[in-house]
Structure 1
Amino acid sequence: MTIRVVVADDQELVRSGFAMILDAQPDIEVVAEAGDGERALAAVRRLRPDVALLDIRMPVMDGIEACRAISAQSACRTVMLTTFDADEYVYESLHAGASGFLLKDVRRDDLVHAVRVVSAGDSLLAPSVARRLIAEYTARPPVTASGAPSPQRLEVLTARERETLLHLARGLSNAEIAAALVVSEHTVKTHVGNVLSKLGLRDRIQAVICAYETGLVAPSPEGEAALSSPAQARRSRGEDRPLR
């Protein structure tokens, strides 16, 4: 089945470069390009693609607003693009419904992988972006009743589902969670689905955010380790490959 993609970036060379890479794949088709968020949103409404690749900083309508509108109005999943891992809009983008977040210097293979992963219903972060997200939580004061979701929100989960959410927040894959819980990957997928459904979450990234906001997981002093399994942490210290 062909994955249909809209690519939006106000820099024509960047936009066409990403489009060429994706169009060269046998299972991916770029159905539209856009130079701003408003045109990207219009293309999504008209063409109903599977994935929208959005630059954060665009004229007329920025990527965050476009992402929020796309998430509210369609089943299209979004991957945000940014130039710097310290981009101040990482947290806001994820809350807007983004399913992935990549740096613009992403490798060709990782860009293609990201589109495939997100189109399959999973989520993805570049390691340096994951560190940025954790740094946001490290710098925040403790959650209060008037702030983010309280721990009581998790009371709808079973003990095993809470344990699954804990492992999700630490960045473990389904296979790693299965090994930790001594269950099959199929069972893990069921637990993950239950967690997302009961908490009204879109994907694994929002589950991670929820785990931190409710206090289920506290950021580690190092930041990175809280989202990364040992294998992922080793990768992020070396090559900047996306985390699933």
Structure 2
Amino acid sequence: MIHIILVDDDAMIREGLKMIIETQEDFILDAVCENGEKAIEACRLYKPEVTLLDIRMPGMNGIEVAKLLIEENISKPLLLTTFDEPDLILNAMKANVYGYILKSASADTMLSAIRTVALGGNVFQKDVMDFITSQVSEQKQKENHLFDSLTEREVEVAAAIAEGLSNKEIGKKLFISDGTVRNHISVILSKTGLEHRTQIAVRYLTR
């Protein structure tokens, strides 16, 4: 079973997502929260696999909540966003969130994203990635060379991360152990100056 906490300050969004989540037999919705402070309390209590977070909320925004959840290792945050939040989306790239998905995404897309994140994968909806790419176009030349120092195997690992695969799935795909995958990721971070796997995925997809 996948335990989930839903966080959004819009009552209509909360109710709509709640209905979608509750249609799934393998999902358990532990709590529905209207702000970041209540979300943190609920996550500390239930420790859900996935927390769906509105990126913009009064008080603590979704990015601030996500950072705290990751620091305390109590849930995997998946950010809900719209196209009118460029600054927050770009700031989210610097946080180790597990992905971003549009609030307008289809029910199937939303459910698939939750399952992927629960397994430790990353989700970057194509429309959001296209938007991010357009926002960072002025940095594109620099980022084109970000992976030049990587070995062929390290590039393969980076590509697999960008596909949203977990370490275990990457190991199976490339026929290497989980430990070797972790070592490759550490080397990639060291060579590129990035801070975590989410940044690897975003930079690879926008290179």
| TM-score normalised over the length of structure 2 | 0.79
Q: Unaligned 5+ residue runs, structure 1?
A: 175-182, 220-225, 227-244
Question: CA 1:35–1:184 in structure 2 vs 1: closer, same or farther (change >3 Å)?
Answer: closer
Counterpart Cα distance in 2 of 1:172 and 1:108: 20
Question: How many pairs does the alignment contain?
Answer: 196
Counterpart Cα distance in 2 of 1:70 and 1:166: 24
2:156 pairs with 1:167:
no
> Which residue is equivalent to 1:55?
54
Written as runs of structure 1 = structure 2, the 5 A alignment for 1:38-53 is 38-53=37-52
Partner deviation per Cα, 1:142-173 (whole Å, 9 max, x = no partner): 65xxxx9x96x997x6x24323145348x557
Counterpart residue identity of residue 199, structure 2: Q
Instruction: Verify the 8 A CA contact 1:161 1:192 in the aligned structure 2.
Output: no
Deviation at 1:120, TM superposition (A): 0.2
Partner deviation per Cα, 1:93-152 (whole Å, 9 max, x = no partner): 132221010111110111110000000010011111111222233223865xxxx9x96x
Deviation at 1:71, TM superposition (A): 1.2
Deviation at 1:186, TM superposition (A): 4.6
RMSD: 3.2
Instruction: Verify the 8 A CA contact 2:8 2:34 in the aligned structure 1.
Output: yes
Counterpart Cα distance in 2 of 1:10 and 1:194: 40
Secondary structure in 2 matching 1:24: coil
Question: CA 1:192–1:206 in structure 2 vs 1: closer, same or farther (change >3 Å)?
Answer: farther
2:173 pairs with 1:185:
yes
Instruction: Verify the 8 A CA contact 2:44 2:74 in the aligned structure 1.
Output: no
Counterpart Cα distance in 2 of 1:35 and 1:141: 37
Counterpart Cα distance in 2 of 1:30 and 1:173: 23
Counterpart Cα distance in 2 of 1:119 and 1:189: 21
Counterpart Cα distance in 2 of 1:114 and 1:95: 20
Counterpart Cα distance in 2 of 1:172 and 1:18: 25
Deviates more, 1:54-63 or 1:127-136: 127-136
2:184 pairs with 1:195:
yes
Percent pairwise identity: 25
| TM-score normalised over the length of structure 1 | 0.68
Secondary structure in 2 matching 1:74: coil
> Which residue is equivalent to 1:207?
200
Partner deviation per Cα, 1:175-218 (whole Å, 9 max, x = no partner): xxxxxxxx961526756443334438654x33224xx4xxxx69
Q: Unaligned 5+ residue runs, structure 2?
A: 166-170
Partner deviation per Cα, 1:54-111 (whole Å, 9 max, x = no partner): 0011112111111111111124111101122763311211322210101111101111
Secondary structure in 2 matching 1:79: strand
Counterpart Cα distance in 1 of 2:183 and 2:83: 35
| Structure exhibiting the larger radius of gyration computed from Cα positions | 1
Instruction: Verify the 8 A CA contact 1:165 1:208 in the aligned structure 2.
Output: no
> Which residue is equivalent to 1:118?
117
Question: CA 1:109–1:43 in structure 2 vs 1: closer, same or farther (change >3 Å)?
Answer: same
Counterpart Cα distance in 1 of 2:140 and 2:98: 26
